[in-house]
A = this chain, B = another copy of it.
């Protein structure tokens, strides 16, 4: 890469935008459930950092991302306080809509980086891909479990984890074909994000399981 500085800044910007989108998804969910100030902060934090933390526990990596960059925790607190002061119910729907795009970029980046971290530990491809899926989805899963809902990622029939799954395999494919890890990360992330964006734009849904529905 000709300009590694520029690239790493771009990656950091995507990461920050995506973490913000994840945190806001938790914040809005907590607000809808009428949680108190503590609940808002904890659910936003789970949504933002839960997936990466679970990945690091499973891969036995320390320190966690939010330990090395502990100013992100401050950012989360500031975000929650600001939201409680300024965010009104009429802002919820437009905020969620606007957050779809940084969220899609985060889906790509987090799943690709999760996959690549696992590959770096010489884990098998299927495990690495699942680590990417876990990184991208389990923040939302934990957010919904704490809020006493069946996780959206498991039931809304819109492709999300599937995009991470495909992006992970593409990353492995191009990396084995000889691409450098940095470029492979970009290709994998772009695939997952692109698929997600296409799904959002087209309104595509995963096929229903007829058997579950036919008798109930």
Task: Provide the residues of chain B in CB contact with A162, threshold 8 Å.
Answer: 37-38
In this assembly, does A24 line the interface, its C-beta being within 8 Å of a C-beta of chain B?
A: no
CA distance A32 to B154 in the complex (A): 13
In this assembly, does A64 line the interface, its C-beta being within 8 Å of a C-beta of chain B?
A: yes
Residues 137-154 of chain A: 1 if any B CB is under 8 Å from the residue's CB, otherwise 0? 000010001111111011
Q: How many of chain A's residues touch chain B, expressed as a range?
A: 35 or more
Given pairs A70-B125, A89-B216, A141-B146, 9 additional interface contacts (CB within 8 A): A33-B212, A34-B216, A35-B155, A37-B162, A38-B161, A63-B123, A84-B211, A145-B146, A146-B150
> In angstroms, how far is the closest chain B Cβ from the Cβ of A128?
9
Cβ-defined contact, A155 with B58, below 8 A: no
Q: How many copies does the complex hold?
A: 3
In this assembly, does A74 line the interface, its C-beta being within 8 Å of a C-beta of chain B?
A: yes
CA distance A88 to B211 in the complex (A): 4
> In angstroms, how far is the closest chain B Cβ from the Cβ of A39?
3
Cβ-defined contact, B36 with A157, below 8 A: yes
Q: Assuming the A-B contacts A31-B212, A60-B62, A212-B89, are A38 and B154 also in contact, with contact meaning beta carbons closer than 8 angstroms in the complex?
A: yes
In this assembly, does A126 line the interface, its C-beta being within 8 Å of a C-beta of chain B?
A: yes
Cβ-defined contact, A123 with B67, below 8 A: yes
Task: Provide the residues of chain B in CB contact with A161, threshold 8 Å.
Answer: 38, 42
Closest A-B pairs by Cβ, 9 of them = A39-B154, A89-B215, A31-B212, A70-B124, A36-B157, A38-B161, A88-B211, A148-B150, A73-B126
